[in-house]
């Protein structure tokens, strides 16, 4: 007993303090304490300001804080006997404003502006920023951005906008003057934060504007980042606090978070008992193509899928195409891969599958795969001769809103028929018009 008390007295209690702007505090951070040989003694995702890491024997350790974007800070610490030590980590980023800090915490693959530059606002790009909603085949401009920020100057530092999305199919349109537009698929029923800024580089840029979009559900945004980076073990550790299964159960509260949970379960192969939940996610949310994509993918995610599974997978992939672009880039990638598999199973006899695959191939050339949300950066402006796209006026006859968005002239109608003829499909194509 005496020996045990002496051992306890030798140990040192470690406490960390995370300093950040208010919003940065709510974004999860991975805290790790490692031995000199990099063995992990402590690991947990935290969102508070102060965190106790436990008690450890005297010695040299490595304390590491990792943000969802992948940015990490290390500190070598020395622990002495019978003390409580507190280490401060200042996570504020001095080269960006507090309004933009959330993007650097939550999103990888973004370039920081050079803090030594003083001419951020010398050459702004005047940009139109609008949210477009499609309901029952008709587009409308949301007042949220069109009235207040129809045309705004965007410099390298950028501007942050907030949008509350509804349950319908919505696209963010960013159109700089004399530049091609960018379109971003917005997740339904969420509070959205948008960073838009000009890019300057000595290397060729795909587009002079950078767009970073995120929900305010920071826990799920963090899961999305670690899934994207393939760090599924970190996602598993994080989801100990709120399991992916619980996310799926709460899909009627936040379908977008449920989709991220479903992506996690599918990618980790831990979805076997959640198939019915996947099916419900696919059937119950008509403006969320991600549901059918995930359900269809798991139907054939085995070595020798049955004929029934292949046919059902085909139906749900076509349902996803009918609903439009998946919200998440990972969903678009899975959709395209699924259609490629279907074209292999059905050869060239399945006109609907091949037509859907041609459309996704066209989008594939425009997708920015570094983004979380499906983002289209057109290669060239559409023309009247383009077989897949036509210019479509958002507000017919509205001189003040004379810009255009793209719509597909081909519809992909979900059908249970397995013997579609090309003549019937061409007739459908002539009769129908759909959105992205």
| CATH code for the domain of 369 | 1.25.40
Residue 10 has pLDDT above 50, yes or no: yes
Alpha-carbon span 57 to 52, nearest angstrom? 15
- The pLDDT value recorded for residue 407 is 39
Instruction: Indicate whether 280 belongs to any domain.
Output: yes
Together in a domain, 129 and 82: no
Instruction: Indicate whether 283 belongs to any domain.
Output: yes
Q: Where does the pLDDT of residue 145 fall: very low under 50, low under 70, confident under 90, or very high at 90 and above? A: low
pLDDT digits (tens, 9 = 90+) for 300-352: 887 788 889 999 999 999 999 988 899 999 999 999 999 999 988 877 788 89
Alpha-carbon span 260 to 388, nearest angstrom? 30
Instruction: Indicate whether 261 belongs to any domain.
Output: yes
pLDDT digits (tens, 9 = 90+) for 200-244: 777 778 888 999 999 988 888 888 887 777 765 666 666 554 455
pTM reported for the whole predicted model: 0.80
Together in a domain, 206 and 226: no
- The pLDDT value recorded for residue 219 is 81
Together in a domain, 231 and 362: yes
User: How many structural domains compose the chain?
Assistant: 3
pLDDT digits (tens, 9 = 90+) for 234-261: 666 665 544 556 666 666 668 888 898 8
Q: Where does the pLDDT of residue 380 fall: very low under 50, low under 70, confident under 90, or very high at 90 and above? A: low
Alpha-carbon span 11 to 5, nearest angstrom? 10
Instruction: Indicate whether 397 belongs to any domain.
Output: no
Alpha-carbon span 346 to 308, nearest angstrom? 13
Together in a domain, 207 and 225: no
In sequence order, which residues have a C-beta less than 8 Å from that of residue 235 and are 6 or more positions away?
A: 223, 226, 227, 264, 268
Say if CB 406 and CB 295 are below 8 A apart.
Answer: no
Alpha-carbon span 370 to 228, nearest angstrom? 9
Together in a domain, 371 and 291: yes
- The pLDDT value recorded for residue 289 is 94
Instruction: Indicate whether 404 belongs to any domain.
Output: no
Choose one of 90, 122, 142: the last residue of a domain: 90
pLDDT digits (tens, 9 = 90+) for 251-302: 666 888 889 888 888 887 776 766 788 898 999 888 899 999 999 999 988 7
Q: Where does the pLDDT of residue 146 fall: very low under 50, low under 70, confident under 90, or very high at 90 and above? A: very low
Instruction: Indicate whether 416 belongs to any domain.
Output: no
Q: Where does the pLDDT of residue 403 fall: very low under 50, low under 70, confident under 90, or very high at 90 and above? A: very low
pLDDT digits (tens, 9 = 90+) for 154-173: 888 888 988 999 989 999 98
pLDDT digits (tens, 9 = 90+) for 47-72: 888 899 999 999 999 999 988 888 88
Together in a domain, 352 and 231: yes
Choose one of 215, 233, 263: the last residue of a domain: 215
Together in a domain, 139 and 206: yes
Q: What value does the mean pLDDT take over residues 359-383? A: 83
Over its C-alpha atoms, the chain yields an Rg (Å, rounded) of 25
Query: Torsion angle of alpha carbons 309, 283, 367, 107, nearest 10°?
Result: -110
CB 289: neighbour CB atoms within 10 A? 30
The C-alpha angle 271, 260, 105, rounded to 5 degrees, equals 135
Instruction: Indicate whether 136 belongs to any domain.
Output: yes
Say if CB 140 and CB 132 are below 8 A apart.
Answer: yes
Together in a domain, 177 and 224: no
Alpha-carbon span 236 to 233, nearest angstrom? 5
| Position with higher pLDDT, 150 vs 329 | 329
Choose one of 90, 112, 147: the last residue of a domain: 90
Together in a domain, 198 and 152: yes
Q: Which two tokens stand for residue 102?
A: 């959330």
In sequence order, which residues have a C-beta less than 8 Å from that of residue 351 and are 6 or more positions away?
A: 420, 421, 422, 425
Together in a domain, 202 and 124: yes
Say if CB 258 and CB 250 are below 8 A apart.
Answer: yes
Work out the end-to-end distance of the chain between its first and last CA atoms, rounded to an integer number of angstroms.
71
**What is the percentage of the chain residues whose pLDDT exceeds 70?**
74
Instruction: Indicate whether 401 belongs to any domain.
Output: no
Together in a domain, 266 and 361: yes
| Position with higher pLDDT, 7 vs 153 | 153
Together in a domain, 194 and 207: yes
- Check which CATH number belongs to the domain holding 80 and give it: 2.60.40.10
Among 13-27, 100-114, 137-151, 402-416, which stretch is predicted with the lowest mean pLDDT? Answer: 402-416
Domain that holds residue 208: 98-215
Residue 392 has pLDDT above 50, yes or no: no
């Amino acid at each position: 007993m005496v020996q045990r008390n002496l051992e306890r007295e030798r140990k040192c209690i470690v406490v960390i303090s995370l300093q950040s702007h208010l919003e940065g505090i709510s974004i999860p951070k991975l805290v790790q304490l490692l031995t000199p040989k990099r063995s992990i003694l402590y690991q947990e995702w935290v969102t508070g300001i102060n965190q106790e890491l436990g008690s450890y024997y005297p010695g040299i350790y490595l304390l590491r804080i990792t943000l969802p974007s992948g940015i990490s800070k290390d500190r070598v610490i020395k622990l002495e006997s019978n003390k409580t030590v507190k280490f401060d980590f200042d996570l504020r980023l001095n080269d960006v404003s507090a309004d933009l800090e959330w993007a650097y915490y939550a999103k990888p693959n973004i370039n920081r502006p050079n803090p030594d530059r003083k001419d951020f606002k010398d050459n702004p790009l005047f940009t139109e920023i609008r949210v477009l909603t499609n309901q029952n085949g008709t587009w409308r401009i949301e007042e949220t951005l069109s009235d207040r920020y129809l045309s705004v100057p965007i410099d390298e530092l950028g501007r942050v906008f907030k949008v509350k999305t509804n349950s319908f199919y919505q696209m963010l349109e960013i159109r700089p003057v004399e530049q091609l537009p960018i379109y971003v698929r917005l997740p339904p029923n969420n509070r959205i934060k948008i960073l838009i800024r000009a890019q300057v580089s000595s290397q060729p840029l795909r587009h002079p504007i950078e767009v970073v979009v995120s929900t305010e559900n920071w826990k799920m945004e963090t899961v999305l980042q670690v899934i994207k980076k393939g760090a599924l073990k970190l996602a598993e550790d994080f989801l100990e606090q709120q399991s992916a299964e619980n996310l799926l159960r709460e899909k009627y509260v936040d379908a977008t978070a449920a989709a991220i949970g479903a992506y996690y379960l599918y990618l980790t192969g831990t979805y076997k008992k959640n198939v019915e939940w996947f099916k419900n996610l696919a059937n119950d949310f008509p403006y969320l193509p991600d549901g059918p994509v995930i359900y269809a993918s798991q139907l054939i995610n085995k070595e020798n899928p049955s004929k029934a599974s292949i046919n059902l997978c085909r139906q749900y992939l076509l349902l996803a195409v009918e609903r439009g672009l998946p919200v998440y880039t990972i969903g678009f990638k899975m959709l395209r891969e699924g259609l490629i598999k279907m074209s292999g199973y059905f050869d060239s006899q399945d006109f609907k599958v091949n037509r859907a695959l041609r459309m996704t191939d066209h989008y594939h050339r425009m997708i920015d795969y570094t983004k979380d949300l499906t983002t289209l950066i057109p290669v060239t402006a559409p023309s009247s001769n383009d077989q897949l796209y036509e210019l479509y006026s958002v507000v017919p006859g509205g001189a003040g809103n004379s810009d255009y968005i793209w719509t597909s002239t081909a519809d992909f109608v979900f059908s249970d028929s397995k013997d579609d003829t090309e003549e019937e499909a061409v007739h459908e194509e002539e009769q129908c018009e759909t959105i992205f």
